[in-house]
Amino acid sequence: MDRDSFIITVYCLVVETYKMVKANYPLRHGGFPPALTDEEVITMEICGAYFKLHLDKDLFAYFHSHYPHFFPNLRDRPDFVRQAANLWRVKTIIWHRLVTRSGEAENPVQVIDTLPLPVCTYTRARRDRCFKTLADYGHCAAKQLSYYGFKLGLRVSANGMITHFPLLCARAHDVNHLNTLVEGFNGLCPADKGFIDPFRQPLLLNRYGVKIVTPAKSNMTEQHPRSLRKFCSRIRKIVETVGSHLTERFAVGKIRVHDLWHFQHRLIRKVFRTFSDQVKTMVGFLSCCFR
């Protein structure tokens, strides 16, 4: 499929889903309608992710130069960027629909982990005014990194799709976010040693059917069969791969904005990029999810 057909296909699918979103969530209460429709903006963002356009100015420049016949009202970059940021909740709902309709939300094996999300350099944290009441100091033992910002929680299916990505407090230990990370899930949940909790693990299994499997520490006795431990150790690498893609390829740890609104907008766009990274299956995946 060429790029023109791909853009048209994505636009048609976005229009179909947007009707459902608009019917259930009022988006605007007054004022002049924007020059670009919301469907056009979301289409450009999803297709831009597929085309590896990381910056707003690159996204605008590409479609303004190559597709004026598809988007004739794309004229002003600040208006386009502002409208795209305003639609972050709509994109989150679309992402939920993608995950639900693909069936990955019901996958019985999902892996959890966290990633550090600095909002500025550590030395400038004391002078931060943008996230003063929201961000906090944290430490990532795996990367030996002290930072100021948030944690990104990740729950990834056995097939490598992100099914849950809550924004978490950076100061709290990973185990304190366990309930948030497994919210709405029941099944097998491999995790690293940071999620070991003799109290929470039996509670989650008895109440919600979530079986947390972690490697044992040197002073602990193994509680799971060897075959299960080997399986979970292999599956756990999936979330590490997804985390590496978000960090190294999509620079999720280098989001530099001035408020939480734009931070969430950039974050959901990068999550969309993890979907669009599967070039050979992107169109087929979107098609089956939006039906």
Which pLDDT score, from 0 to 100, does residue 109 have?
Answer: 93
Answer for the pair 272, 49: CB distance below 8 angstroms, yes or no. yes
Q: Under DSSP, is residue 130 helix (H, G, I), strand (E, B) or coil? A: coil
Low-confidence ranges of the chain (pLDDT < 50): 278-282, 290
Domain boundaries, the chain: 3-86, 108-256
| Spatial distance between the Cα atoms of 143 and 120, rounded to a whole number of angstroms | 17
What is the pLDDT, as a whole number, of residue 278? 47
Question: So what's the pLDDT on residue 159?
Answer: 85
3.30.420, 1.10.10, 2.40.40, 1.10.3470: CATH of 108-256:
3.30.420
Specify the pLDDT at position 281: 46
DSSP 55-115: SHHHHHHHHHHH-TTT-TT---HHHHHHHHHHTHHHHHHHHHHHHHHHTGGG-SBEEEEEE
Residue with tokens 């030395």: 123
Cα gap 208→168, rounded to integer Å: 21
Phi, psi at residue 25, to the nearest 5°?
Answer: -130, 110
In the prediction, which pLDDT does 168 show? 94
Compute the distance between CA of residue 16 and CA of residue 25 in angstroms, rounded to an integer: 15
pLDDT of 150: 95
Return the pLDDT at 181.
94
pTM over 0.75: yes
**CA of residue 138 relative to chain centroid, distance:** 20
The reported pLDDT for the residue numbered 104 is 86
